[in-house]
Amino acid sequence: MKLKISYITILFLGLALSVSAQRRKHKSVKHPATHTTHKKAQAKAAHAVTKKGKIKTKENDVAVKDSATLKGATIEILQSYKPEVKLSAKPEATPSLPPVDISTPAQTYNVPAQSMYYTYNSLPLRPLALGKDSVERGYENYVKVGGGNLSTILLDAGFAGLHGSNYETAIQVHHLSQAGNALAQKTALTSIDAEGTLHTAKNDLHADITGYRNLYNLYGFELPANVVSKVYSGFKIGVDLTPSASQRKTFSYHPKIGFGLHNDNYGSSEKTLSVELPFSYKQSDDLNFYCTVNGVYDVLSRTAMDNVQSNMLQIAPGVEYKTGSFSSKIGLSPTVGATNIYLLPDIDARYTIKNTQLSIFAGWKGVLNRNNYEALSAWNPYVYFRYSLQQTHANEVYGGVQTNIGNHLALSGRVSYWLYDNMLMFVNDTTYSKKDMLPVYDKVNAMTLTASVRYHIGNVLAVDVSGTYTAFDPEHFKHAWQEPGVRFNAGLMVRPIPQLMVTGYLSVMDELYALDNGNRSVKMDGAFDLGGSAEYNFIPRLSAFIQINNILNNHYERWYGYQAYGFNIFGGIRFKF
């Protein structure tokens, strides 16, 4: 039994040695001595087994067990292998534009056949008579009458019903008379204006005529009846020609000619003939050339005094240029006045900041005021000419900003520096009764600050506020006589319902100085005038109105010695037809 166990053991050792030899053979092919080494190992193993098992065998028997006599065997060794992917470097992202797609996309359209079916037969086409126009036209004529305290009488009428396919006309009549509480305080203003336009294929011919009679009493003084009233009357007529809308392309023109007559009840009469010839050539949307020729012949005749002329001849060429947010105008006008020759600049530049509504502007403008009798009596009706008239030459250098905030709010500001030659001012005739205002002149420098705000919402609400501060620096006089240094104006319009419109106003003037007896300077009281009006439409044709002036009953003086009317209220009706 022990012998069998020994044989079995020797057999397994032999197999083990054979497998070990095969492994070494596969691992190291370059060593030719592998077989010999293997045999020695087998011999040692056999000897060790014999010794342990106490089995004595011959050397030849051990040789028989050599690997050469063993059968060849192939042993497959399977080993699991897990492949690993080598990690790549982390890419660094850099911004870049995507590649431009230059391929043309293929677009296919499948329009199915359109079939329409009607459950009725269409009527045949045949001409029909023109139906009645459903658009309601506004009323072309109106009459407004009213009255109130201070013996107020108001008449205002307009007529525009006379028109045709190629012409239209308009006529307006106005009268307002009032009498205050001061001695002989009364005014009566009456005027009639008419105009008409005739349209032809190439031109539009326009004409207008104005007639007036205005009464101003020299009130507040003990005066004879024959000198207490000052009446101005006269008329103006003008004709102008413009190209029709279809003809306004590159070359445009607008010639005007006018004649006027201005009289007073003291024997003064002024005749005026004016001609204005403006032309413009539009080179492109950005470039425009223009030139205007102005001429005025004016002569004032006075009883027992020399005639006074206030003539002017002017040539005003210029160019306008606009590109993007920038616009400019450059003009230079040689002007011949009554006594001197002037070179009047007209330069303006404006820039709108990109992506905003803020505009910045600056410029330099020269003007020549003729100071004729008609203009001065409209400005100050108590004026009296004892000496010859003088024309006023002025230069304004200005700059400012304007902007819109949203669609309803507009703001603007302006700074101006003025240089006046012969600035016109008024002083009272203190040698008699201070009733007449005498024109005086001085060289004046002035700085003006102006600001305005406007807020509006369609025709429902509108608020306007503006203020001006002026610092005068006369060369010879102490003050700029009766010229306000502070002006403030505010206006309000509100329509709470479609039938009712309410308005209000506020007017403030201050820093006025006058020259009193003995050449004494007097600071006049500030003017503060608050008022308003309302009009309500009962029916489309009929409305009622009411107006209130000087609610606070402030007896301020615009001209020294002439107090304004106090509290004034009047009302009436307006009829449209």
Model-level pTM?
A: 0.73
Mean pLDDT throughout 186-213? 95
Q: Which position has the token pair 């020797």?
A: 10
Mean pLDDT throughout 229-251? 90
The kind and range of the H/E element at 518 are none
Tens digit of each residue's pLDDT (9 = 90 or more) over 174-192? 999 999 988 889 999 999 9
Mean pLDDT throughout 190-199? 96
CB 559 within 8 A of CB 382: yes
Sequence ranges of the domains in the chain: 2-68, 410-418+451-470+486-577
Alpha helices, H only, 2-107: 2-27, 34-53, 59-64
- Checking if the pLDDT of 522 tops 90, the result is yes
| pLDDT band at 135; cut points 50, 70, 90 | low
Which of these, 522, 529, 470, lies nearest to 505 by C-alpha position?
A: 529
Task: Kindly report the number of other CB atoms within 10 A of residue 324's CB atom.
Answer: 9
pLDDT at 7: 52
CB 272 within 8 A of CB 298: yes
Mean pLDDT throughout 25-54? 44
What's the token pair of residue 421?
């030659």
Q: Which position has the token pair 């012998």?
A: 3
CA 1 to chain centre: 126
| pLDDT band at 248; cut points 50, 70, 90 | confident
pLDDT at 401: 97
pLDDT at 483: 96
CB 357 within 8 A of CB 370: no
Which of these, 500, 527, 523, 573, lies nearest to 143 by C-alpha position?
A: 573
Tens digit of each residue's pLDDT (9 = 90 or more) over 452-477? 999 999 889 999 999 999 999 999 99
Tens digit of each residue's pLDDT (9 = 90 or more) over 342-359? 999 999 999 999 889 999
Separation of alpha carbons 541 and 38, rounded Å: 137
Separation of alpha carbons 262 and 227, rounded Å: 19
pLDDT at 8: 59
User: Exposed, middle or buried, 550 (CB in 10 Å: 0-12/13-18/19+)?
Assistant: buried
pLDDT at 266: 87
Separation of alpha carbons 19 and 72, rounded Å: 9
HEC-encoded secondary structure of 141-207 = EEEEEEEECCCEEEEEEEECCCECCCEEEEEEEEEEEEECCCCCCEEEEEEEEEEEEEECCCEEEEE
Got the DSSP string for 223-277? --TTTSEEEEEEEEEEEEEEE-GGG-SSEEE--EEEEEEEEETTS-EEEEEEEEE
- Checking if the pLDDT of 487 tops 90, the result is yes
Got the DSSP string for 269-282? EEEEEEEEEEEEEE
Mean pLDDT throughout 166-179? 95
Average pLDDT of the chain is 84
- Checking if the pLDDT of 552 tops 80, the result is yes
1-19 burial, b for 16+ CB within 10 Å, e for fewer? eeeeebeeebeebbeebbe
CB 174 within 8 A of CB 156: yes
What's the token pair of residue 44?
């040692």
* 42 vs 139, more confident: 139
* 494 vs 28, more confident: 494
pLDDT at 381: 93
Q: Which of 63-77, 90-104, 381-395, 454-468 has the lowest mean pLDDT?
A: 63-77
